[in-house]
Amino acid sequence: GRPLLEVNDLKKHFPIKAGFFGGKTGNVYAVDGVTFHINKGETLSLVGESGCGKSTVGKTLLRLYNPTDGQVVLDGQRIDDLSEGKLRPVRRRIGVVFQDPFSSLNPRMRVRDLLAEPIRNYGLAKNGADLQARLDKLMDTVRLPRDAVNRFPHEFSGGQRQRICIARALAGEPELIICDEAVSALDVSVKAQIVNLLQDLQKDLGLALLFISHDLAIVEHMTHRVAVMYLGKIVEIAPKRSLFAAPKHPYTEALLSAVPVPSPGQARKRIILKGDVPSPIKPPKGCRFHTRCPYAFDRCRVDEPRLQQTSPEHWSACHLHDLPAAENPLARDTVL
């Protein structure tokens, strides 16, 4: 069937005000032409270093930002150009969990009201008894005691607070949840519990997840497919196993080289990238990664690589793919 979410050439540019940047105006090219899809019940992870634009993708899908260009299609309906009034029924279908459960929950509201607010906003509860039944069910779903709805956010631990955020994200009965570094601030053991909860919810409720994270070890544990972003663009997108076993893009190879592996015998050679990520105000010409790529050659400095299919469902944007296999250091076999 058709994907639940289709994102086509999405762009989000933030204008810079005159005077801020040497008196000239310009743009921050935070998201600069991103295309992907998410199937029903699937997890797609969006990975990359901080500042690569992955959070901006999430916020633009949620219409917390209006896109500069491109299309977003949810279940066959374009949502990128909907007016605020027409967005309400769409907002119900996409939940979100952010990194910081402290700042995402209003400290003056009891959990009951934090959860009742979206249920009321979306007009889901038929009456008081239905509202209560929905609150009970949400607390059961995130495995918190039902009577905890009478407490305030500060009375919970960080992990419990993130469960409340997940319950709030579920209140509208969404089909997709965007998790933006949703477990990054949690302790290791709590992190594992929340990841397991998200996986169970996905199975039980048939949810799709967009899992935005810089933590590739967790991504490997829980995702179906992975999209790797660098400076506002997706440079590689592939099923998890194919990407982790045989990355096709030099940036992905470098990112993966830093992920700890369970047995030392399988350790990857660590690739240390030179320099910092260039500014998204003036991204490098040609391949945006050429200033740091260990394999860059002349063409990379002038010609922008497009995503090309290297095996079924595996796409990568790199000029190495046009060289004979013997000259491409990443031309190893894809594992399916």
The residues that touch Mg ion, with contacts defined as CB under 5 A, are 55
Cα-based distances in Å from 28 to 21, 80, 223: 11, 20, 30
State the pairing for strand pair 208-212/43-47. parallel
Indicate the helix (H) or strand (E) that contains 316.
strand 314-316
Nearest approach in angstroms of CB 301 to ligand SF4 is: 8
Nearer residue to ligand SF4 within complex by CB, 130 or 327? 327
305 binds, among ligand SF4, Mg ion, none (CB under 5 to 8 A by kind): ligand SF4
239 binds, among ligand SF4, Mg ion, none (CB under 5 to 8 A by kind): none
232: exposed, middle or buried (C-beta count within 10 Å: 0-12, 13-18, 19+)? buried
Nearest approach in angstroms of CB 294 to ligand SF4 is: 8
For residues 175-203, one letter each, b for 16 or more C-beta atoms within 10 angstroms of the residue's C-beta and e for the rest, the string is bbbbbbbbbeebeeebbebbbebbeebbe
Indicate whether 318 belongs to the interface with ligand SF4 (CB under 6 A).
yes
Q: Which residues pair with 72 in a beta bridge?
A: 7
Nearer residue to Mg ion within complex by CB, 45 or 55? 55
**Nearest alpha carbon to residue 235 among 17, 54, 68:** 54
Nearer residue to ligand SF4 within complex by CB, 195 or 300? 300
Indicate whether 295 belongs to the interface with ligand SF4 (CB under 6 A).
yes
- Whether the CB-CB separation of 28 and 52 falls below 8 Å is answered with no
Pick the stretch among 4-12, 176-184, 209-217, 316-324 that binds ligand SF4 (CB under 6 A): 316-324
Nearer residue to ligand SF4 within complex by CB, 123 or 329? 329
55 binds, among Mg ion, ligand SF4, none (CB under 5 to 8 A by kind): Mg ion
